[in-house]
Structure 1
Amino acid sequence: MPWEKKWFQFTVLLLLAFIWGSSFILMKIGLKSFDNIQVASLRMGFASLFLLPLALPHLKTLKRKDVLPLLVAGFVGNLIPAFLFTKAQTRIDSSLAGMLNSLTPVFTLVVSVVFFKLKSRLSQYLGITLGLIGALGLIVSGQSVSLNNLNTYAFFVVAATICYAVNINVVKAYLTHLSGVQITALSFLFFGPVALYYFFSSDIQAATQNPDWLLHLGALALLGFIGTATAMLMMNTLIKYSSPVFASSVTYVIPIFAIMWGMLDGEMVTVYHFLFMGIVLLGVYLTKKGSR
């Protein structure tokens, strides 16, 4: 595939935005039968099993120096954010989760500057500031903007975006000599047993009391196979051929799909949400400006 071509990279970016923009509503569907721990562990367990046939052939060529970055990619870049997002969505709407996910490029730049010594411009620091202001506005937005509307569960999403930012920089700095398939399959192999342990040690019988639990399980299988495993194969390959900030800019478009699915499901989206979403995206644009 022509991964070096800009048009192809933008095509992959849009496809990823649709897949991940749809993942929030799939999590919401899964939470109708399963608790947040079960949803996260099923999502990641399905993804790990899906990638198992791709991971096993690469184990014999795994080098010791790659183990730690792959562990970071697996646990920090995927497993921990999965649990943070499902915890958040027990108290916040899927559309808001999608909007806050747009902070990823902002934190990607912060991690790049602080830990990887990336040179930055004044406009990018302004972008970081605007992104954080916009995020705070989203967190306190309801029918009015007030600290009384503060939903602390939204900070779980913020924490997840920081995890994503660390992962993107680690993959770019230490794993670009591996293919996207190797990075994704091996990193998921490491945490797969942990995810499955969490699920099977939970109260599975309680989850099956809902008459539609099989439908909800199917939504989580789709989330694991497509929204996680396949999407990460694409993302890790994109990081290899582009910059960390470009790859993370997928979050420009994710909120569009997240908001669309949320509104179709009857979630409330106010003018304040769009206002602060605009501020976040302006901040993201400024952090991305001049990045390669």
Structure 2
Amino acid sequence: MSKRTLAIFAAIGATTIYGINHTIAKGVMPDHVQPFGFIMLRVIGAAVLFWAVSIFGPKEKIDKKDYLRMVVCALLGMGFNMLVFFKGLALSTPINSSVLVTTTPIIVLILSAILIKEKILPQKIVGIAIGLIGALGLILFGAEIRQDAPNIPLGNFLILMNSVFYGSYLIVAKTLIAKYHPFTFMKWLFTLGIFICLPLGYQELIEIRWGQLPLGALWSIIFVIIGTTFCTYLFNIFALTQLKASTLSAFVYVQPLFGILFAIATGQDRLTSVKILAACLVLLGVYLASRRSQSRVS
């Protein structure tokens, strides 16, 4: 099997993990673990794993001039981003979250225009408008009566804010990603993330009753730490060694499919006309907003 084929499988693996994570993480919250406590487990676990694998990477030190940027990256990518996503997921549904996270390319495009003055072509503007209409539709009209989703509109809004924070992180982290080895970058980012999330997550972390957790919940926690947080990053790194960034980014269109199918198959969510329409608008908007830039890279 060629390396390119393995890279494609790695990209599919990462996308699949991201897709089913919405349902798996949702199944643990809030009955067994509260959202902020879950994030503490995630950043601590990932920090330990990345420090462990960093022995296989180069020995690098972070330049003093990069300290501030590293802290900002940790705030956006390992703090605000994860905290609002898991809190939003606890309040909303797996299908809603799997659809809304795909707005990230649109958010990146908007932030790039604002922060680094990137020109937005008319086709991209149309894509942004369509995608945001779909996202707003879920927030404003996606309310349901569900015991495990106590405030769906607020949850949907927080998930959309996750895309804003993550998009900001991608822009701020660009120079650091190019400068440092991935293991160096991620071990320090997750280490900083522990201290950033500690004020909000400590109380919920110590409230976890480990002796009373069912086996399924334990496996879900392990999946989120090792699979969603650690393996997906490694899979994407390997995929980027063999595939163009534009090719890898196209897998964002597949994530909602995996997320929706898994949520329905496990009985954790159901499709409604609002969700179907919103998903179509979001994916069409992402496609139009990213089509031109992808074709240039190819």
TM-score, with length taken from structure 1: 0.83
Q: Unaligned regions of 5+ residues in structure 2, if any?
A: 145-150
Distance in 2 of aligned mates of 1:234 and 1:55: 16
Q: What is the CA-CA distance between 1:25 and the residue it aligns to?
A: 1.6
Distance in 1 of aligned mates of 2:45 and 2:171: 26
Match of 1:141 in 2: 142
Q: What is the CA-CA distance between 1:151 and the residue it aligns to?
A: 1.3
Alignment of 1:122-137 (within 5 A): 122-137=122-137
CA displacement, residues 68-115 of structure 1 (integer Å, 9 cap, x when unaligned): 333333331233222112211222111211111111010011112221
CA displacement, residues 123-156 of structure 1 (integer Å, 9 cap, x when unaligned): 001111011001112221368xxxxx97122110
Match of 2:290 in 1: 288
Q: 1:261 and 2:262 equivalent? A: yes
Distance in 2 of aligned mates of 1:242 and 1:78: 26
Question: Residue type matched to 2:142 in 1?
Answer: S
Match of 1:22 in 2: 20
Bigger drift between 210-219 and 251-260 goes to: 210-219
Match of 2:87 in 1: 87
Q: What is the CA-CA distance between 1:58 and the residue it aligns to?
A: 6.0
Does the 8 Å CA contact 1:41/1:199 hold for their aligned counterparts?
yes
Bigger drift between 91-100 and 45-54 goes to: 45-54
Match of 2:228 in 1: 227
In structure 2, the CA distance between the partners of 1:76 and 1:208, relative to structure 1 (3 Å rule), is same
Q: What is the CA-CA distance between 1:159 and the residue it aligns to?
A: 0.5
Secondary structure in 2 aligned to 1:89? helix
Which residue of 155, 159, 163 maps to 2:161?
Answer: 159
Distance in 2 of aligned mates of 1:11 and 1:123: 31
Secondary structure in 1 aligned to 2:142? coil
Match of 2:45 in 1: 46
CA displacement, residues 166-217 of structure 1 (integer Å, 9 cap, x when unaligned): 1222233443122322322221122234446755433635x32884445313
In structure 2, the CA distance between the partners of 1:203 and 1:134, relative to structure 1 (3 Å rule), is closer
Q: 1:183 and 2:185 equivalent? A: yes
In structure 2, the CA distance between the partners of 1:262 and 1:136, relative to structure 1 (3 Å rule), is same
CA displacement, residues 28-57 of structure 1 (integer Å, 9 cap, x when unaligned): 122130112212221222112211224577
Distance in 1 of aligned mates of 2:239 and 2:53: 18
In structure 2, the CA distance between the partners of 1:96 and 1:164, relative to structure 1 (3 Å rule), is same
Match of 1:168 in 2: 170
Distance in 2 of aligned mates of 1:236 and 1:197: 31
Match of 1:279 in 2: 281
In structure 2, the CA distance between the partners of 1:38 and 1:159, relative to structure 1 (3 Å rule), is same
Distance in 2 of aligned mates of 1:255 and 1:39: 23
Match of 1:146 in 2: none
TM-score, with length taken from structure 2: 0.81
Q: What is the CA-CA distance between 1:246 and the residue it aligns to?
A: 6.4
Percentage of pairs with the same residue: 21
In structure 2, the CA distance between the partners of 1:104 and 1:43, relative to structure 1 (3 Å rule), is same
Does the 8 Å CA contact 1:104/1:251 hold for their aligned counterparts?
no
Distance in 1 of aligned mates of 2:114 and 2:255: 26
Q: What is the CA-CA distance between 1:229 and the residue it aligns to?
A: 2.0
Question: Residue type matched to 2:161 in 1?
Answer: A
